Structure 1
Amino acid sequence: MIIQYDPCEPFRAYNRLEGRPREEELEDSLAAKIHDPLWMLARQYQFGELKGEDAGSAIFAKAAINTVRMSSFTGGNGQKNPYTEDIPLETRVERLIPEIDFKLSAKLGKKFFLLLDEEGLAANPSSPYAAGMYRGQLIHKFPFSLPKIEEEDTAQVTTAKARVLSLQQASSFVRAMAGRALNGRMLWTALGGDFSKINTLVLVSNEAASPDKFILASHKAILLEAAKKWISFVKKELNLPENDQDDSWYEERLEYSFRTTIDEGNTSETELKADEYFHGHLDWFAFDVAKEKESGSNGFDDSVRKREVLTVIPAEASFAGMPNSRWWEMEDGSIDLGNLKASDTDIAKILVTQYALQYSNDWLAIPYDLPTGSFAEVEGILVRDAFGQNYFVDAAHKEGEGWNEWNMYALSVDKDEFEAPAFDKRILLPAVAAKTMESEAIEEIKFIRDEMANMVWGIETRVPNGLGGGMDGYEAAQNLMSTFERLIKEEEIEETIILPEVNVNAVDSKATTYKPQLKYQLGNSVSENWIPFIAIHQQGSNREIHFQRASMPRIIELYEPHAIRPRTQLLRKGINENDNQLTPMYINEEEIPRAGVKLTGTYQRTRWYNGEIVSWYGRRKRTGRGEGSSGLRFDLVLDNKR
């Protein structure tokens, strides 16, 4: 066999420079010594390191920085309050009044007994107080007890009681606490945040003790002080707003809305607004400038507006995986920037790679400690190099240039519809938590659009379980139906059944064996954790619509048809404990897109910079997973299989 030789095949040879150590120590080998220094100069020439540049290394820099602070906070009630940093700003914004569950209720009741004994034992000996002196009477006044369904109860009242009885674990907890613990929820409801209402338990002169009044008049001051400290403890422990109107949650938009004010120090103010905050982490990008600062006096108040000039030695800015500027310096191989695969359309990846490989060592950093809650502006930076030359560095976004010039961390300013967009060039550092711990969802509602039924559904996928946690919404709905079924079975059956008299000779009374093939059904039903929202016109408009909370009927044998009410705190807005709707609930049409919305309610916990642990209950909105179908249909013609 003859193999033809291709004379055009290239000759391949591979050469590599490597050290050949001949000694036990590796110091000389790792030094990477070069025998011919001209080779190193040639490599420097190839890489352009011998090209001259009219630039020197920066040896020091001066920076002028102006700083102003937040001065006020405006929540959902529209009332402007002084701004403080005793708690994180996102806690002040997100906190809501949670539903006090049975486990938390027992904890709060135990705290009240501790405070009462503490105040009583420290009181004046002229009015002796024994530890646990009123324990039995208080437990009897504010007990743990399960509701009992009575015959005279309406359908709504029965449903409210059945919801509690359907929570099996919570019911077992209540039975265990009955007669042993104080119900802190009942005590909180009775006081309503006013410690003076505890006076209803104090006996007046020559009055006999009763289950409703049993505190001696000599112990009135003890009880008032204990109630005052207990209310303060509850508000601080749960970070409660003053009332429902004091929180920043807007159910029409399913998001938070608030405003802060910046005192410019020249008798003028700048208002910052955050009308669409729902992310769960508050930062500078949630704010916009509601209105530009008005012209004030020419002078500045030094106690409000702080101006500082720094003289520092700039340091080289770096990031993880950044290539080293020295040729023979060993690099960290955890990030291989040269192995990034980018196509022609991966513009962002190409820009990042080019910056990291070519321009990453061109940046210098000047450290500056900026207090939280500040709005800062860098007037300019003066840099001096090794040759003694001074260079003034302007901002990339100068005044008077186009709005589309490059800028970072700038806040947009509200303008009229036909005005060019504007930006505030300063940087905002809000006083927010760096990291928070979040509990599992206590409440979770998925809003979906159902085009077949032409409505929106709020699906309660997680509902409170009564013990500070959440449970599956479908399971909760099934447990409630099981509770109703047990009530139906408990109904007494009549011992004798009296049948009506029938004329057997009449034609209508004769039996027939005919069975219709079809049957008519008015409509089917859906799971009780599906809450409907129907589209209605907004008031005063015949075009714009919003969604109003509606209800499906519950049809059982014991009661007349009645409305199915939601179980989550969000969807029960305007519904009292007996399932009577006091006010309707609306959601703006644009807040529920075709992708849907998922809303969760969780407890959050963080440690503030003063070392204090802060906890609160808040909500977060996320994008859903598309449209859905409830299967709800009306006017059905079905096969008669009976």
Structure 2
Amino acid sequence: MTAVTGALRPTSTAVADGDRLAAVAAPVRDPLWFVSRQLQTQGFLADDGGSPVAVSVAVTTAPLALDGRPLTGPVAPAVEAEPAVPRDRVDTATRVRWATELFRRVADAGVPAATVAALRSGLAGASPLRTVLAGSSVAPVAGLLPDPVALWTTWSAAVGADGSTGTLPALPGSGSSRAAIEPVVRAWVAWLSPRLGPVGGSRAPARWSGRGVGYAFGLTAGQVSLSAPDHDGGTVEWHTFDRSAATTAPAAAAPVTVRPSPVRYAGMPERGFWTMEDGAVDLGALATQDPARALLVAFANGYANDWFVVPVDLPDGLSAVASLQVTDTFGTVTTVAAAAALDGPHARFRLWELTAPPTANDAAVGARLLLPAAAPPLEGPAREDVLLGRDEMANLGWLVELTTTDEDGAPVDRYRRWLTLRTDDAATGATRPGPTAGGAAATRYYRLGTTLADFWYPLRAQQDGSLGLATVPAGATDVTDLGVVGSLVPHAAGTAVDDDAIPRTGARVMRVDRVAYTAAGRRVWSARRRAPGTGEASSGLRFDTVGEGRPTQNVVQNPGLTVADRTAGTRALVGAGRAAAAVVGWEVVGAKGGRATSVVEPATRTRDGWQLHVTASVARSGVAQRLAESVPAGAELSAWVYVLRGQVGLVGGRSVAGRPAAQSSGTGRWEHLTARASGAVGQVALVAEGGGAEFLVDRLTVRLDAQRPAG
């Protein structure tokens, strides 16, 4: 025979909400009728138990510390904030804001507007601010301002990082207002110092784990260690931490005596059905409830007689009840032990309670963690957004950079950029058919594989079980990522991600700006946040395809001079050797006894972009670029040059001292130099021939034989 247990619950036959409320309200007009009903139901009879009237409670609290220093504010900014941006990696938009802040302060100091304009012009002439990418949206503003990083470098060397010592250098354009401007400049130097990091420094927070793709940090509270080995960048709560055991508890504070009150919620009806209620009861609020509130209502209505609230004020930290004594209406004093202590080391999980690995003696049993209070931070749009996914068919992982920022600080939708710049139908491997010049069908070519989108980076399994960032061979992509590479996952040798950090669903990592208002004031920081991915990833690569011939990838880095050197100015080289040019990826080459210079200028052959202005005093001097991989004989070399004086040669080979493959034929016009390389090409150069020369370079191209598709 099977025993059936349960509870009898009435079912209302009311249909409308108004009928249901009238049924549970039980309105009456005679208060004495309530008294008689309580007598009939024995509501006035006392039992043998007393009701709690006073509770004496003593609490132990251990303050929180981070890296040995007391934690005085919210945890998130202290843990998640990125370090100061390295001085050599400040984008142009940030430089514009910093420079604007300087002149705003000068204007607020009462300096005449004409003097502010003269100061801005004078400083911009001495330390010009240039955009890095051609066509940047901040270019018109940048051209009117000085480079704040260059100004800070000069001024901080003279007056110190806090601006309080030494003598400030000359301020061009300040005139008679120097006395009013100098304290503003010193204060600006002190304001900017904590915002600049060392050259070559890391952008990752100190507690960010690149391999685990998450934050790993810990707090201490007395003898207890609170560890958060895998924080995803969301809200920091008590359940973020795991704690260790403690051998001794902190000294308990003096006991306080408080009056307990039954468990109630706002609008709760009286516990006895035949009890008169006041207007604070709100039955309408219970008509529709979400599951969490319904659970609270069911618990309070069913068990409020057995539960009491004992209010205790607690500071931030790890707190536990050291002693709890209850005095009832009969004067009996009862000592109540913690439920966690009664259950022993194998206690089950309890809400709001941190548990430790089972130990025989744990002085922190029943501890509650109270973190410093702070309003939820406001979060801006993602400045960088990447996906980490698995490709089980290819036995690879993929780093997919959806959104990054360019060198000038503008957001870049990498997918749309790739769609705009690609030359091959990488999604299908097919090329658009078309007749040849004579009307015959186009020649078909075998291709080993299609190209890879420039924002997809492979992660290959390594011997230690991690996924390492692999190198994409030359020609594997038909779009360059120069100037738009992300920083969430460093593109450096040895970069690896733990295998378990990328589940089957993938992971999405974003870099966002946050602001929070705390008791100490406003806090602004850049944080990283991890979220679930979108499933497995597939690059769409296809192999062993047949299609038409197509132009192969240009293997020159920065071929159109689209990425300049912001702080280059004029780059010069005296004598034989090599030096960095005014654009990324290029070099100035010089011959013995000569001088060569390079200056980046706005393009004149096209509507936007840059061009390189080269001056060479002797033959065999000019500009050159080393190729990442040597190109075999038959490669197509081409360059756009505008010769102002002299003659220019296009040289391709293993050195720049070889015979030119093509030479300019005149001056005063743009000329397209083209040639086929007779041997292997490891570097390519544009140099003066026969003597000195002055010329402009707009674009350089090195391609494999266009009639032999890559692969």
Once residues 168 and 293 of structure 2 are traced to their aligned partners in structure 1, the CA distance between those partners, rounded to angstroms, is 79
SS of alignment partner, residue 428 of structure 1: strand
Q: Deviations over 1:329-349 (max 9, x none)?
A: 344322348x999xxxxxx99
Single out whichever of 591-600 and 528-537 deviates more from structure 2: 528-537
Once residues 31 and 285 of structure 1 are traced to their aligned partners in structure 2, the CA distance between those partners, rounded to angstroms, is 49
User: How has the CA–CA distance of structure 1 residues 449 and 187 changed in structure 2, closer, same or farther, with 3 Å as cutoff?
Assistant: farther
Once residues 61 and 356 of structure 1 are traced to their aligned partners in structure 2, the CA distance between those partners, rounded to angstroms, is 21
User: How has the CA–CA distance of structure 1 residues 108 and 481 changed in structure 2, closer, same or farther, with 3 Å as cutoff?
Assistant: farther
8 Å Cα contact 1:316-1:361 kept in structure 2: yes
How far apart are 1:270 and its partner, in Å? 3.0
The equivalent position to 2:453 in structure 1, one of 510, 518, 527, is 527
| Residue in 2 that maps onto 1:90 | 76
How far apart are 1:446 and its partner, in Å? 1.4
Once residues 477 and 120 of structure 1 are traced to their aligned partners in structure 2, the CA distance between those partners, rounded to angstroms, is 50
| Residue in 1 that maps onto 2:220 | 261
8 Å Cα contact 1:96-1:617 kept in structure 2: yes
Letter in 2 for 1:443: E
SS of alignment partner, residue 253 of structure 1: coil
Q: How many residues align?
A: 495
User: How has the CA–CA distance of structure 1 residues 184 and 515 changed in structure 2, closer, same or farther, with 3 Å as cutoff?
Assistant: closer
Q: Deviations over 1:520-579 (max 9, x none)?
A: 2111123322222111112xxxxx34333543645689xxx98878622213x2x5xxxx
Letter in 1 for 2:545: V
The equivalent position to 2:146 in structure 1, one of 177, 182, 186, is 182
| Residue in 2 that maps onto 1:288 | 242
User: How has the CA–CA distance of structure 1 residues 36 and 142 changed in structure 2, closer, same or farther, with 3 Å as cutoff?
Assistant: same
Task: Report the TM-score when normalising by structure 1.
Answer: 0.64
| Residue in 2 that maps onto 1:458 | 399
| Residue in 2 that maps onto 1:335 | 286
The equivalent position to 2:58 in structure 1, one of 43, 61, 64, is 64
| Residue in 1 that maps onto 2:488 | 570
SS of alignment partner, residue 541 of structure 2: coil
8 Å Cα contact 1:438-1:603 kept in structure 2: yes
How far apart are 1:91 and its partner, in Å? 0.1
| Residue in 2 that maps onto 1:136 | 121
SS of alignment partner, residue 456 of structure 1: strand
Single out whichever of 461-470 and 389-398 deviates more from structure 2: 461-470
User: How has the CA–CA distance of structure 1 residues 421 and 637 changed in structure 2, closer, same or farther, with 3 Å as cutoff?
Assistant: farther
| Residue in 2 that maps onto 1:316 | 262
SS of alignment partner, residue 308 of structure 1: coil
SS of alignment partner, residue 108 of structure 1: helix
Once residues 556 and 599 of structure 1 are traced to their aligned partners in structure 2, the CA distance between those partners, rounded to angstroms, is 24
How far apart are 1:41 and its partner, in Å? 4.3
Once residues 40 and 91 of structure 2 are traced to their aligned partners in structure 1, the CA distance between those partners, rounded to angstroms, is 74
Once residues 192 and 257 of structure 1 are traced to their aligned partners in structure 2, the CA distance between those partners, rounded to angstroms, is 35
| Residue in 2 that maps onto 1:32 | 29
Once residues 407 and 480 of structure 2 are traced to their aligned partners in structure 1, the CA distance between those partners, rounded to angstroms, is 24
Once residues 460 and 367 of structure 2 are traced to their aligned partners in structure 1, the CA distance between those partners, rounded to angstroms, is 45
8 Å Cα contact 2:209-2:215 kept in structure 1: yes
The equivalent position to 1:548 in structure 2, one of 456, 459, 469, is 469
| Residue in 2 that maps onto 1:381 | 324
8 Å Cα contact 1:57-1:385 kept in structure 2: yes
Structure 2 segments unaligned to the other structure (5+ residues):
1-12, 15-25, 424-437, 551-711
| Residue in 2 that maps onto 1:160 | none
User: How has the CA–CA distance of structure 1 residues 137 and 369 changed in structure 2, closer, same or farther, with 3 Å as cutoff?
Assistant: farther
Letter in 2 for 1:601: R
Letter in 2 for 1:247: A
User: How has the CA–CA distance of structure 1 residues 448 and 320 changed in structure 2, closer, same or farther, with 3 Å as cutoff?
Assistant: farther
How far apart are 1:589 and its partner, in Å? 0.5
| Residue in 1 that maps onto 2:371 | 430
| Residue in 2 that maps onto 1:370 | 314
How far apart are 1:438 and its partner, in Å? 0.8
Q: Deviations over 1:284-307 (max 9, x none)?
A: 212222x544669xxx7xxxx561
User: How has the CA–CA distance of structure 1 residues 424 and 119 changed in structure 2, closer, same or farther, with 3 Å as cutoff?
Assistant: farther
Q: How much identity, in percent, do the aligned residues show?
A: 22
Letter in 1 for 2:341: K
User: How has the CA–CA distance of structure 1 residues 480 and 362 changed in structure 2, closer, same or farther, with 3 Å as cutoff?
Assistant: farther
8 Å Cα contact 1:383-1:390 kept in structure 2: yes
Letter in 2 for 1:596: G
Once residues 529 and 414 of structure 1 are traced to their aligned partners in structure 2, the CA distance between those partners, rounded to angstroms, is 44
How far apart are 1:256 and its partner, in Å? 0.8
How far apart are 1:618 and its partner, in Å? 0.1
How far apart are 1:66 and its partner, in Å? 1.2
Once residues 371 and 462 of structure 2 are traced to their aligned partners in structure 1, the CA distance between those partners, rounded to angstroms, is 39
Q: How does 1:187-202 map to 2 (within 5 A)?
A: 196=160
Structure 1 segments unaligned to the other structure (5+ residues):
1-13, 16-28, 75-79, 122-129, 148-163, 342-347, 483-510, 539-543, 576-580
Letter in 2 for 1:333: G
Once residues 78 and 125 of structure 2 are traced to their aligned partners in structure 1, the CA distance between those partners, rounded to angstroms, is 37
Task: Report the TM-score when normalising by structure 2.
Answer: 0.58
Once residues 427 and 340 of structure 1 are traced to their aligned partners in structure 2, the CA distance between those partners, rounded to angstroms, is 27
Letter in 2 for 1:368: V
| Residue in 1 that maps onto 2:498 | 588
What do you get for the CA RMSD once the two structures are aligned?
4.8
8 Å Cα contact 2:102-2:185 kept in structure 1: no
Letter in 2 for 1:105: R
Q: Which has the higher contact order (CA 8 A, sep 6+)?
A: 1
8 Å Cα contact 1:108-1:234 kept in structure 2: no
Name the one with the larger helix percent. 1
Once residues 549 and 444 of structure 1 are traced to their aligned partners in structure 2, the CA distance between those partners, rounded to angstroms, is 20
Once residues 144 and 69 of structure 1 are traced to their aligned partners in structure 2, the CA distance between those partners, rounded to angstroms, is 48
Q: Deviations over 1:480-520 (max 9, x none)?
A: 559xxxxxxxxxxxxxxxxxxxxxxxxxxxx998988x742
Once residues 423 and 67 of structure 1 are traced to their aligned partners in structure 2, the CA distance between those partners, rounded to angstroms, is 10
Please state if 1:631 is matched with 2:616: no
Letter in 1 for 2:192: I
How far apart are 1:142 and its partner, in Å? 3.8
User: How has the CA–CA distance of structure 1 residues 391 and 421 changed in structure 2, closer, same or farther, with 3 Å as cutoff?
Assistant: closer
Letter in 1 for 2:101: K
The equivalent position to 2:386 in structure 1, one of 414, 427, 445, is 445
User: How has the CA–CA distance of structure 1 residues 440 and 321 changed in structure 2, closer, same or farther, with 3 Å as cutoff?
Assistant: farther
Once residues 233 and 385 of structure 1 are traced to their aligned partners in structure 2, the CA distance between those partners, rounded to angstroms, is 60
8 Å Cα contact 1:318-1:360 kept in structure 2: yes
Please state if 1:605 is matched with 2:515: yes
Once residues 366 and 96 of structure 1 are traced to their aligned partners in structure 2, the CA distance between those partners, rounded to angstroms, is 42
